Structure 1
Amino acid sequence: MTMINLKNIQKDMAGRPLFTIDRLVANAGDKIGVVGRNGAGKSTLAHLLTGTDRDYTGQIMVDEPVSYVAQIAPTFDQSGGQAMLTRIRQALSARPTILILDEPSSNLDETHQQWLINQLQRFRGLLLLISHDRQLLNAVTTQTWAVEHQKFTAYAGNYAYYQTVKAQQLATQEAAYQRQNTHQRELLAAQRQRNEKAQRIRKGNRRMSQVERAKTKATREATAAKMERTAKRMVARGQREPQVAKPFTTSGFKLVATDFPTFTGKTVVTGLNVTLAEYGKTLLAHADFQIRPHDRVAIVGPNGSGKTTLLRAILGGRVSGLRLAPAARVGVFNQDMTVLDGKQSVWQTVRQVSQLPDQTIRNVMGALGLPARFYPQLVSALSGGELVKLQLICILVGQYNVLMLDEPTNYLDVDALDALADYLQNYPGTVIFVSHDEPFRQAVATRVLQFETHQLVDPDKVVKAPQPVEADLAVLQFKYDQLMADPTSSTAAIQALRQQIDRLKA
């Protein structure tokens, strides 16, 4: 049963085309992933389907009421993850026929991410899932609506299938583009050869007499002109052939340590006997930890365990035993968009906070999804995801040697996620970050500090404490005495226990 039918849709934003839709159809029970870069129109499509945005051309048919859970909403003193969970639970409890979730896994810890997957797999209505979370999309969706180059296209399959199809299309386009370039070079070479031959004909043979040269001048000129015209028409036919566009690819860039302030010292953050509490809840108790220069530390733990509180405490400098090195120049990302001046252009906003060369800044902006066409735009005209990117870029290219990033992966599209991971892998300073995106953590982190029983534990360095030798000896000696007193004990068992005692004494 068809529940959503979109035909010949064109949506403009600020006087410019945002996206078009030739035809999209969704049936009862479908689970559709809606994917694309930030600002491409995914959330706008949700607003069209809910009826809150009626400024478009074309036909939209939605047969049932739509329940929409937005990506950004008031938290009412809850953490971002807790607020999102509350909204999702409320939506699911109403058993909607059509459900649209906009970035539902943002801010969710691993346990609640799996809970969300389980809930959506069991959902029996029509689901539209706007997300950049590859794990969530692959686990839940059976179709994909992708917006690329200002056009929505439907693909039969989850995100992994869509990526496979796109990779095949890109490879085919690249091969066709290379064949086209080779063909055009061959045509130009043939034209050049014919023009050169025409010039030789026009000049005539050096062995010709003056009389022969004069008699054949008109014929030679006509033959040469005809050859030049043929060569020109040949190239013109090649230019009229269907042209294959050059595949879009992004180029990498290299960061060097001299681009940023140097850090002097052996420790960036030191925690000795640190106790943290918030709203009467103990988060850390007598915790000891260190973060060293060039570490890329992921701080992990369940929602509400204290990750963001710890970051604020490190910056605040008011917690006993917690020390940030004086040489640390900290750039902080926390998705607070109020720090951005909406009246400035995108380029002005980034340029004024960085001393990096213009080209380096352009490379970072392009890789994270704010290329040259965004430079003159006002900050106030950006989408939520684009604002996240802009603030993140300002932190990345600023004059810092320590980056403190609280959920930098939320609302970033997949291309931007990969670019950010690559950037942080090559960043010459120290990175302290919180992220529930496990593939991103694995790609970036060199260390993990995990909230566990009011401590910060480094799982890679956890070693079970050996039992005291004296205690072991006492137990073994007691067993030995029992065996010696028991007439049924075997000689082999007694000898084995004796050897064990001797090894411990040694």
Structure 2
Amino acid sequence: MTMINLTKIQKNVAGRALFTIDHLVATTGDKIGVVGRNGTGKSTLAHLITGVDTDYRGQLVTDAPVSYVPQLAPTLDQSGGQAMMSIIRQALSARPAILILDEPSSNLDEAHQQWLVAQLQGFHGLLMLISHDRHLLDAVTNQTWAFEDQRVQAYAGNYAHYREVRDQQRQTQEVAYQRQMRHQRDLLAAQQQRHEKAQRIRKGNRRMSAAERSKTKSLREATAAKMERTAKRMVARGAHEPQVAKPLTQRGFKLVATDFPSFTGKTVVTGLNVTLKQYGKTLLTHADFQVLPHERVAIVGPNGSGKTTLLQAILSRRVSGLTLAPAAKVGVFNQDMTMLDGEHSVWETVRRASQLPDQTIRNVMGALGLPARFYQQRVAALSGGELVKLQLVAILVGQYNVLMLDEPTNYLDVDALEALAAYLQDYPGTVLFVSHDQSFRDAVATRTLQLTDQQLLDFAQVAVAPKPAEADIAVLQFKYDQLMVDPAATTAEIQALKHQIDQLKA
């Protein structure tokens, strides 16, 4: 039986611990999802197992050859999806005993994603799947190795089960942390009460005579001192109790429309009888479409159908029938890392790109996985996923009113994906994006343009809401009544809920 055995592993980078592993074992039949934020060491672990990286402490044993498929980027004559499909087919055809796939579903269209799931479900060796694709992880894996707080922990089950366990752990930690905070406040309050009582004892009773004060002074001082020592020991014992770390929480951010250039005009992009060709291949014929201000338009289609080409054509302003409004100030994300100066720091790179307040920029960076510890790092020292995040942040906070994002979800961890979706939902400008992540598209898009068979199909994503049941209105009315008698409720909350009830009744 094939096996990977990792014992007391420590991997350092630039003098600090990247991750440690106490003991992990994987055998034939295990399908392991390797998850964690970008830059935590997922791909580095793959390099250790394959033997490419031998700079680590501890014992690592593999008893069979390892086939490794790294992250791939688009090439001159192939899309990223086409290149990935080609190398995955080669790897699977060799029937390896140990197979490691690094972000294999990035750039794959829906049909090829389904093919990949079926192939991996039928794989009989030992599989390690480094991925942010929730659907793929849930459909294939039976174990999860999670990179958290510079450690790699094993969890039974797929990604959904891991998230459930992790969320429960964080909830338990939050409860324990709040209990600890209350206990510490109680101890400090008790100490203060004893200190005040000791002070009153030292002063003595106001009805005491001078003789009585003099006679009892030593006793009163000893009693007060004993009381203060008891209070100090009580607080000291509390300080030596096992401490619960504060759970990490993500700070939100608020976008203000006036922070970005205003857009004047009725349309952002207009396409009339548009025909697109690339490398002699016709991708689109006689297409008509419009993109209106404030829309968030997803462009979808099979690999090689022309999604990226359409974005490039809109941006070029040189394709017959395609018009980009003069007022459009376009920020473009296309995973071209050569545009980043490797000698600048992360903070310099983002600060130069934006006129937003420092704190807003910090909040956006933190939400997407570039917290304060990255600020002074040189761009050249970042991992591939961190470079993607840096380029994305610089575009998101830039002085633009239109965003064109080509596969922004590739190589982002799940936390960053959710933060990006939330950002785009509140973005005051217009968004055109290409993504094969169905969950992300559902969360962000208000419309979908689908490229298929040289045609452009337009699907509105805003569905007509079903008429609410009377029970739903009754629930909201009950919440409204509760808010009316709640002294902590704000007028804005009450008005918002009343407006919601009125809309549902209408």
Instruction: Tell me if TM exceeds 0.5.
Output: yes
| Deviation digits for residues 34-87 of structure 1 (CA, Å, limit 9, x no counterpart) | 000000000000000000000000000000000000013673621100000001
Q: What is the distance in 2 between the residues matched to 1:330 and 1:416?
A: 22
Structure 1 residues 252, 43: CA separation in 2 closer, same or farther (over 3 Å shift)? same
1:28-427 equivalence runs, <5 A: 28-72=28-72, 75=75, 77-427=77-427
Q: What is the distance in 1 between the residues matched to 2:461 and 2:243?
A: 58
Cα distance, 1:328 vs. partner?
A: 0.2
Q: Which moved more, 1:138-147 or 1:280-289?
A: 280-289
Look up the match of 2:481.
none
Look up the match of 1:498.
none
Q: What is the distance in 1 between the residues matched to 2:332 and 2:73?
A: 22
Look up the match of 2:3.
3
Q: What is the distance in 2 between the residues matched to 1:245 and 1:58?
A: 28
SS at match of 1:290: strand
| Deviation digits for residues 136-159 of structure 1 (CA, Å, limit 9, x no counterpart) | 000000000001000000001100
Q: What is the distance in 1 between the residues matched to 2:256 and 2:162?
A: 36
Look up the match of 2:467.
none
Q: What is the distance in 1 between the residues matched to 2:73 and 2:93?
A: 19
Look up the match of 2:468.
none
SS at match of 2:39: coil
| Deviation digits for residues 419-438 of structure 1 (CA, Å, limit 9, x no counterpart) | 00000000000000000000
Cα distance, 1:461 vs. partner?
A: 9.0
Structure 1 residues 349, 460: CA separation in 2 closer, same or farther (over 3 Å shift)? closer
Cα distance, 1:282 vs. partner?
A: 1.2
SS at match of 1:448: strand
Q: What is the distance in 2 between the residues matched to 1:261 and 1:277?
A: 33
Of structures 1 and 2, the larger Rg is shown by 1
Given that 2:302 and 2:452 are in contact with CA atoms closer than 8 Å, whether structure 1 keeps it comes out as: no
Q: What is the distance in 2 between the residues matched to 1:47 and 1:173?
A: 33
Q: What is the distance in 2 between the residues matched to 1:148 and 1:77?
A: 38
Cα distance, 1:317 vs. partner?
A: 1.0
Q: What is the distance in 2 between the residues matched to 1:166 and 1:345?
A: 33
Q: What is the distance in 2 between the residues matched to 1:240 and 1:345?
A: 40
Q: What is the distance in 2 between the residues matched to 1:243 and 1:41?
A: 28
AA aligned opposite 1:318: R
Structure 1 residues 6, 187: CA separation in 2 closer, same or farther (over 3 Å shift)? same
Cα distance, 1:455 vs. partner?
A: 2.2
Given that 2:275 and 2:286 are in contact with CA atoms closer than 8 Å, whether structure 1 keeps it comes out as: yes
AA aligned opposite 1:71: Q
SS at match of 2:40: coil
Q: What is the distance in 2 between the residues matched to 1:176 and 1:323?
A: 58
Given that 2:72 and 2:83 are in contact with CA atoms closer than 8 Å, whether structure 1 keeps it comes out as: no
1:474-489 equivalence runs, <5 A: none
Aligned residues: 462
Q: What is the distance in 2 between the residues matched to 1:375 and 1:252?
A: 19
Over the aligned positions, Cα root-mean-square deviation in angstroms equals 1.1
Cα distance, 1:332 vs. partner?
A: 0.2
SS at match of 2:49: helix
* TM-score, structure 2 as length reference: 0.90
SS at match of 2:418: helix
| Deviation digits for residues 125-178 of structure 1 (CA, Å, limit 9, x no counterpart) | 000000000000000000000010000000011000100000110011001001
Structure 2: which 5+ runs fail to align?
Answer: 463-506
Q: What is the distance in 1 between the residues matched to 2:54 and 2:74?
A: 25
SS at match of 1:129: strand
AA aligned opposite 1:75: T
Given that 1:5 and 1:24 are in contact with CA atoms closer than 8 Å, whether structure 2 keeps it comes out as: yes
Cα distance, 1:280 vs. partner?
A: 1.9
SS at match of 1:459: strand
Given that 1:11 and 1:19 are in contact with CA atoms closer than 8 Å, whether structure 2 keeps it comes out as: yes
Cα distance, 1:2 vs. partner?
A: 5.4
Look up the match of 1:486.
none
Q: What is the distance in 2 between the residues matched to 1:446 and 1:371?
A: 30
SS at match of 1:186: helix
Look up the match of 2:445.
445
Given that 1:144 and 1:154 are in contact with CA atoms closer than 8 Å, whether structure 2 keeps it comes out as: yes
| Deviation digits for residues 211-252 of structure 1 (CA, Å, limit 9, x no counterpart) | 111000000000000000000100100111000000011021
Q: What is the distance in 1 between the residues matched to 2:15 and 2:228?
A: 48
Q: Which moved more, 1:66-75 or 1:328-337?
A: 66-75
Structure 1 residues 63, 305: CA separation in 2 closer, same or farther (over 3 Å shift)? same
Q: What is the distance in 1 between the residues matched to 2:217 and 2:67?
A: 84
Cα distance, 1:16 vs. partner?
A: 1.4
SS at match of 1:230: helix
Q: What is the distance in 2 between the residues matched to 1:459 and 1:319?
A: 24
Given that 1:364 and 1:393 are in contact with CA atoms closer than 8 Å, whether structure 2 keeps it comes out as: yes
AA aligned opposite 1:393: V
Cα distance, 1:297 vs. partner?
A: 0.2
AA aligned opposite 2:147: V
Cα distance, 1:112 vs. partner?
A: 0.3
Given that 1:343 and 1:380 are in contact with CA atoms closer than 8 Å, whether structure 2 keeps it comes out as: yes
Q: What is the distance in 2 between the residues matched to 1:333 and 1:456?
A: 22
| Deviation digits for residues 94-125 of structure 1 (CA, Å, limit 9, x no counterpart) | 00000000000000000000000000000000
Q: What is the distance in 1 between the residues matched to 2:170 and 2:412?
A: 23
Given that 2:72 and 2:80 are in contact with CA atoms closer than 8 Å, whether structure 1 keeps it comes out as: no
Q: What is the distance in 1 between the residues matched to 2:434 and 2:227?
A: 70
Structure 1 residues 399, 100: CA separation in 2 closer, same or farther (over 3 Å shift)? same
SS at match of 2:353: coil
Q: What is the distance in 2 between the residues matched to 1:372 and 1:251?
A: 13
Cα distance, 1:382 vs. partner?
A: 0.1
List structure 1 segments (4+ residues) > 6 angstroms apart after TM superposition: none
AA aligned opposite 1:288: D
Look up the match of 1:12.
12
Q: What is the distance in 1 between the residues matched to 2:263 and 2:279?
A: 35
Q: What is the distance in 2 between the residues matched to 1:293 and 1:157?
A: 44
AA aligned opposite 1:119: Q
Cα distance, 1:279 vs. partner?
A: 1.7
Look up the match of 2:495.
none
| Deviation digits for residues 181-234 of structure 1 (CA, Å, limit 9, x no counterpart) | 111111111111111111111000111111111000000000000000000100
Q: What is the distance in 2 between the residues matched to 1:241 and 1:214?
A: 42
SS at match of 2:312: helix
Structure 1: which 5+ runs fail to align?
Answer: 463-506
Given that 1:2 and 1:25 are in contact with CA atoms closer than 8 Å, whether structure 2 keeps it comes out as: no
